[in-house]
Amino acid sequence: MPITKLDNEKFSQLCANCEQVRDLPLSELTTSEDDSDTAPLRVPVCPKCGAFELLIPTQPDAQPHPVEGSYGHLHQLLVDELRDRRRPAAVARGKGKSKPPLSNLFPAGLVLAKPSEFRRVERKPETND
């Protein structure tokens, strides 16, 4: 059930089970009882088919994603961005850790095609070299 779009107030999710796309306010994302910075985010149950998803943010000891610009990499960035927006305290604690600007990999905004329609994005060249 991937995330397909993210904006200031809401996000869009494609249900992997029934393929329904729905828009949800960010406030509908909740964390599990273990309210740590790396806790999974719970997406409300799909109203059409009842499927349920957890989004797992990048864990602190994770290696960099092996294929930059791949579907999996971009989806992980969206999940982390959702986590950051839902949990500003976590962001404050992580201050100092540099996060590359998402616009490099999302030149058209925070949107992601369905896995079946996805084409890898080539990263824009860094401007500082």
- The CB-of-16 to Zn ion minimum distance in angstroms stands at 8
- Told to check if 43 binds Zn ion by CB under 5 A, we report no
Cα 129 to Cα 117: distance, rounded to the nearest angstrom: 33
**16 or 91: whose CB is closer to Zn ion?**
16
- Told to check if 18 binds Zn ion by CB under 5 A, we report yes
**17 or 70: whose CB is closer to Zn ion?**
17
Q: What is the DSSP string of 18-57?
A: T--EEEEEGGG-EE-SS--TTPPEEEPPPTTT---EEE-P
Per-residue CA distances from 33 to 30, 41, 48 (Å): 9, 11, 26
Residue from 3, 15, 77, 79 in contact with Zn ion (CB under 5 A): 15
Binding site for Zn ion (CB under 5 A): 15, 17-18, 46, 48-49, 51
